[in-house]
Structure 1
Amino acid sequence: MCAVVGIFGNDDAAKLASAALFAMQHRGHEATGISAGGSDCKKIVTVKGQGFVRDVFDENAFKLLQGDMAIGHNRYSTAGSDSVLDAQPIQAKYKLGEISIVHNGNLVNKDVVRNRLIDDGSIFQTGMDTENLIHLIAKSSQNKLRDRITKSLTKLKGAYNFIIQSRSKLFVVRDPHGIRPLSIGKLKSGGFIIASETCCFDLVDAEFVRDVKPGEMLIFSQDHAEPESIMLDETKEFRPCAFEYIYFARPDSVIDGKNVYAVREEMGKALAMHDKDLLDADMVIPVPDSGVLSALGYAKASGIPFELGIIRNHYVGRTFIEPTQAMRNMKVKMKLSPMKSLIEGKKLVVIDDSIVRGTTSKRIVRMLKDAGAAEVHFRVASPMIKHPCYYGIDTPTKEELINAMKTPQEVQKYIEADSLKYLSIDDLKSSLGKDRNYSMVSFDGDYFIA
């Protein structure tokens, strides 16, 4: 997951970056950071720490973060640890000056590249794959930073969005498959914003311009009114991640031209069209918040009333992106509460966005039955997750995925539901639109980057 943002050409760059990161807090809350500077500044300054955006950035931080250029990051770990050392941005000095880097994605060849760099004398300060690029840039013999970046990227494989800040320029790169989302906006107060999701554009008063193209590098500088575009690789197939629409993105974001709200609603409608045996259910209830829109779609297509039978405490973070199972278990109890007076004695259709490990689903079913529900029929608005994803999702081993280790009947028994059904891969494709070939590696095991 993770969120990245870049601001160029605005004197309030750091504050705007902070606001954008606040809007994208859902993409990671382990740590956050901002680097700021500009052509009028003597150096790049970085402030970062563990926790939420609101906890790390205050007036004292903004006094340090001066300049008309900034990059920022919200961390959700897929590589490295939860140490503050593994918070981004990563800043370093090298032959051509100073740079700072933020990264969203996951490099599948990170260990091979790191080991070669260590054999060549590099000393790493973090456990993050992002640091590989710092070392590759520093060791390059090219005379210009743009050429060093271009050369370094040829050695990396995986899903990545990099934003790289030098003293005077901002470099933006999206991987050739365009797996993770990245958009450009124009700030009404002047300058540009580049961000993982468009949901932050309204908050900072920016107008959407376009998505960064797969395989594209953009260079923002004071020498040009518009960013310079260089296509580094146009040979790969566009494979945006389907999970962005299922879970990661905020509903009010538009990801590569597709409205997340509308796509999730279509998933729910598709799920209902193959589920005619539950028309006598009393209500459709979502697992909040990620199941709400698919539940709305299911209710519209089935004619079963939609109700908020589970209330969420919004001061608790997202359970799927918690780094340990113990933390996930505790947060389920803290986060969700059943509406006993509404669901007691009722036949429920419960909609969630996905089943990953199964532990959260089990607790939800048990919670609803303890509250008096007569029947709990669990419906999942995505296909069965059977394969670990190495492109930026925290499912590193097959053993953690309940659908990889159990049959659907065994999963139903484990979560104690009266019935269990999933969205099919074909229906997911129809909901997304068949105009492009999405990355569905978690569902179909198609590892198109090896």
Structure 2
Amino acid sequence: MTDQPPAYRAHPFDDDKLREECGVFGVLGVADAANFVALGLHALQHRGQEAGGIVTYDAERGFNSARRFGYVRDTFTSADVMQTLPGSLGIGHVRYSTSGSKGPAQIRDVQPFFGEFSMGGAAIAHNGNITNAQALRRELIERGSIFQSSSDTECIIHLMARSLQKGIPERMEDALRRVEGAFSIVAMTRTKLIGVRDPLGVRPLVLGRVGDGWVLSSETCALDIIGAELVREIDPGEMVVITEEHGVESLRPFRPVRPRFCIFEHVYFSRPDSIIGGRSVYETRRQIGVELAREAPVEADLVCPVPDSGTPAAIGFSQESGIPYAMGIVRNQYMGRTFIEPTEQIRNMGVRLKLNVNRALIRGKRVILVDDSVVRGTTSRKIKEMILDAGAAEVHFRIASPPTSWPCFYGVDTPQREKLLAASMSEEEMRSHLAVDSLRFISLDGLYRAVGEPQGRDAGTPQYCDACFSGEYPVEPSDMIEQGFTLKAAE
């Protein structure tokens, strides 16, 4: 297998969305664990579409791994690959790079990572971002560590290697106490499946049961695909160590703090058929549309989602406003590998390759377009132009999140702040820039109400991580500050 990445991105014509960095999945106590992991990763593909990896353990053949660029469906479905991954214990990872992404993607950056310790091997897969990774990396290199990748996750392996603790779970605890930022981790030894969430619980991680086996996953939708039952969420700051013999052991290795789960998981990252905090993601997004209709009503003929992420909010907006819902924009679901190496002419077609306007429906109508976010604004302008070209009388944008004016440092692919439209423009300036008849975002309080906080956002102690909207970072991004990033309070 070549170490060179494929000549395309999963979304070559959609660079105007925030993307999750990755998803993790693990299973213990099932026959052919690799097949379960591949199915789980397929369900989590929305969280990372650049590359994927699987590690399994078999008593006869030891640890086995496979790492590939591309979609799970294209890389982990062949018998040739899956036969190299025997065993009843396995973990997997799907990746969209943030940390370690400054240059071309390399296979060595694809997780899970593996380390051989004196007490045996261990593999680790990480969702999130370590905000002090550069400082840790410098320290570890000075002390003799030799890094094989550019990923922040490898710091954890080296910290474990230097720990004086006897067991691998204990070494992992020791290592993670040095780590700052966000981490939801699935790891494995020869006999154990391990799951950990950082004290703030920024990224999701759930525990499930499949037959006599156990499952860890970034989201509940990946439990559904293998017929597993949701047991519960892993708590913020909790480590679970699972064995076939003793089941689930729960540990609390970190000092307790008030959780700050990522609110954008509700808005966009998680699949709408997942459950977060006991709430349906779909229902939360529908309620965002309800709140948006209350906060920003407008006279119009149709409510149309920008597919697919704007659909639940558009349904809620329609239901609350009484304005008919319609599929004014149709998504081409099958463009994935059609244009592996697009020509310049095809690239200039831009968003039209992915989305097409239902002209007969739109012509002459006042249209409300509901989308999940505005990042750079480039895609929003193209969609508006398509709607007007189809003969729409008016175009109104309603956005199911507050203005994204700050970058995320906790595991999301975010542009630099100066490239975020809302960082330099007011709402009215953005409306003028996009050249639409009106533009409104849901308020931060309205978003909090939609996710189940009836009083809105607690300004003193926010219930979620909303740094991308508020600029209030629950963990100081020390590496970025060292590089010159200025925090809100210091502006």
Q: Which amino acid aligns with 1:202?
A: D
The TM-score normalised by the length of structure 1 is 0.94
Tell me, which stretches of 5 or more residues in structure 1 are unaligned?
318-326
- Structure 1 residues 61-140: aligned runs within 5 Å: 61-81=81-101, 82-140=105-163
Query: Kindly tell me: are residues 329 and 267 of structure 1, through their superposed partners in 2, closer, same or farther at Cα, counting changes over 3 Å?
Result: farther
Paired position in structure 2 for 1:405: 424
Paired position in structure 2 for 1:211: 233
Paired position in structure 1 for 2:248: 227
Q: Which amino acid aligns with 1:205?
A: G
Percent identity of equivalent pairs: 43
Matched, 1:177 2:203: no
Matched, 1:285 2:307: no
Contact 2:177 2:254 in 1 (8 A): no
- In 1, Cα distance between the equivalents of 2:97 and 2:438? 34
Paired position in structure 1 for 2:35: 15
Query: How many residues in Structure 1 have an aligned counterpart in Structure 2?
Result: 438
- In 2, Cα distance between the equivalents of 1:293 and 1:244? 14
Paired position in structure 1 for 2:174: 151
Deviations 1:27-51 (A, max 9, x none): 110001100114x244211111110
CA shift for structure 1 position 103: 0.5
Contact 1:284 1:349 in 2 (8 A): yes
- In 2, Cα distance between the equivalents of 1:422 and 1:328? 30
- Pairwise CA RMSD: 1.8
- In 2, Cα distance between the equivalents of 1:310 and 1:9? 45
CA shift for structure 1 position 333: 2.8
Contact 1:353 1:380 in 2 (8 A): yes
- Structure 1 residues 427-446: aligned runs within 5 Å: 427-434=446-453, 437-446=463-472
Indicate the SS of the match to 1:205: coil
- In 1, Cα distance between the equivalents of 2:386 and 2:199? 44
- Structure 1 residues 376-391: aligned runs within 5 Å: 376-391=395-410
Tell me, which stretches of 5 or more residues in structure 2 are unaligned?
1-19, 337-345, 455-461, 477-491
Indicate the SS of the match to 1:227: strand
CA shift for structure 1 position 77: 1.1
Deviations 1:71-104 (A, max 9, x none): 0011011211322221111122232222111000
Matched, 1:271 2:292: yes
Question: Among residues 208, 215, 218, which one is paired with 1:193 in the alignment?
Answer: 215
Q: Which amino acid aligns with 2:434?
A: I
Indicate the SS of the match to 1:200: helix
Query: Kindly tell me: are residues 440 and 328 of structure 1, through their superposed partners in 2, closer, same or farther at Cα, counting changes over 3 Å?
Result: farther
Paired position in structure 2 for 1:294: 313
Paired position in structure 1 for 2:369: 350
Indicate the SS of the match to 2:375: coil
- In 1, Cα distance between the equivalents of 2:301 and 2:193? 55
Q: Which amino acid aligns with 2:431?
A: Q
Paired position in structure 1 for 2:4: none
Paired position in structure 2 for 1:244: 265
CA shift for structure 1 position 194: 0.6
Contact 2:284 2:451 in 1 (8 A): yes
Contact 1:41 1:67 in 2 (8 A): no
CA shift for structure 1 position 330: 6.5
CA shift for structure 1 position 329: 8.1
Paired position in structure 2 for 1:321: none
Contact 1:34 1:72 in 2 (8 A): yes
- In 2, Cα distance between the equivalents of 1:245 and 1:48? 30
- In 1, Cα distance between the equivalents of 2:169 and 2:229? 27
Deviations 1:312-345 (A, max 9, x none): 012346xxxxxxxxx9987623211111111011
- In 1, Cα distance between the equivalents of 2:85 and 2:349? 36
Paired position in structure 2 for 1:335: 354
- In 2, Cα distance between the equivalents of 1:282 and 1:83? 49
Matched, 1:315 2:334: yes
CA shift for structure 1 position 220: 1.2
Matched, 1:46 2:73: no
Contact 1:43 1:98 in 2 (8 A): no
Query: Kindly tell me: are residues 329 and 448 of structure 1, through their superposed partners in 2, closer, same or farther at Cα, counting changes over 3 Å?
Result: farther
Q: Which amino acid aligns with 2:229?
A: E
Paired position in structure 2 for 1:28: 48
- In 2, Cα distance between the equivalents of 1:171 and 1:328? 44
CA shift for structure 1 position 62: 1.2
- In 2, Cα distance between the equivalents of 1:432 and 1:233? 27
Contact 1:384 1:403 in 2 (8 A): yes
Indicate the SS of the match to 1:159: strand
Contact 1:363 1:415 in 2 (8 A): no
- In 2, Cα distance between the equivalents of 1:177 and 1:258? 19
